[in-house]
Amino acid sequence: MNEPVLLRPLSPENAALFREIRLEGLAQDPDAFTSTFEDESAKKLSYFAESLAASTVFAAFRGPDWLGGCRVLCPARSKASAQGDAVGHVCQA
C-alpha cells in the first residue's frame, strides 16, 4: 500500500529543497514561469530562504519524496483575508 500524501508548509530552513523544486519546474516547463532557469540557478540559497520567509509555500510529499508544490498569495484586504490564490504550481511527472 502506498504511503499517504502529506502537505506541509515550507520554511526558510527548507530553502535547498525549495530551490531544487523550483529549478526542476523551470527546467521542465519554462513557459509556466515568469523567471528563467538561468536567472534562478544563479541566485544564492539565501534568496530562496528569503522568498520562503516572505510568502506561503506548500509542498506535497509521499514519504521522503516530494510530489509537487504551490505558493499561496493572500491579499492584504481585510474582507478577503481568509482567501488566497494558488500560484506557481510544480508537480513531479
Q: Decide: helix, strand or coil at residue 1.
A: coil
% residues pLDDT > 90 (the chain): 41
- Judged against a pLDDT cut of 90, whether residue 21 lies above it is answered with no
CB 61 within 8 A of CB 4: no
CB 76 within 8 A of CB 7: no
pLDDT for residue 33? 86
pLDDT band of 83, cuts 50, 70, 90: low
pLDDT band of 37, cuts 50, 70, 90: very high
CB 30 within 8 A of CB 22: no
Count of CB atoms situated within 10 Å of the CB of 61: 17
Total count of residues recorded for the chain: 93
Q: Express each pLDDT in 40-76 by its tens digit.
A: 999 999 999 999 998 889 999 999 888 888 888 766 6
CB 12 within 8 A of CB 49: yes
d(CA 15, CA 5): 21
pLDDT for residue 19? 93
Higher pLDDT, 88 or 44: 44
CB 46 within 8 A of CB 72: no
What are the structural domains of the chain?
5-91 (3.40.630.30)
